[in-house]
Amino acid sequence: MNLRQLFTVIMVLLALCGSAQKYMTKTGYVYFKSHTDAIDIDGSNNKVAAMFDVSSGEIVAIVLIKAFELPLATADKHFNEVYMESDAYPKATFKGKFVNLQNVDINSNETQELDVEGVLSLHGVDKPFVQKVNISNNKGKLSGTCSMKINIDDFGITVPENVKDRVAKVVDVKVELTLEEVKK
- Residue 34's Cβ-count burial label (10 Å; 0-12, 13-18, 19+) is buried
Res. 7 pLDDT band, cuts 50 70 90 = low
- In this prediction, residue 17 carries a pLDDT of 47
- In this prediction, residue 97 carries a pLDDT of 97
| Predicted confidence (pLDDT) per residue in 70-96, tens digit | 998 889 999 999 999 999 999 999 999
State the alpha helices, DSSP H only, in the chain: 3-16, 73-78
- In this prediction, residue 56 carries a pLDDT of 95
* More confident call, 133 vs 13: 133
| The pairing of beta strand 141-151 with beta strand 112-122 | unpaired
pLDDT for residue 1 is more than 80: no
* C-alpha dist (Å) from residue 184 to 14, 18, 22: 11, 11, 10
Instruction: Please compute the mean of the pLDDT values over residues 16-34 and round it to a whole number.
Output: 86
- Residue 18's Cβ-count burial label (10 Å; 0-12, 13-18, 19+) is exposed
- In this prediction, residue 26 carries a pLDDT of 97
| Predicted confidence (pLDDT) per residue in 132-181, tens digit | 999 999 999 999 999 999 999 999 999 999 999 999 999 999 999 999 99
Residue-range domains of the chain with CATH:
3-181 (2.40.128.110)
- In this prediction, residue 127 carries a pLDDT of 97
| Predicted confidence (pLDDT) per residue in 60-72, tens digit | 999 999 999 999 8
- In this prediction, residue 6 carries a pLDDT of 53
Give the percent of the chain with pLDDT over 90. 79
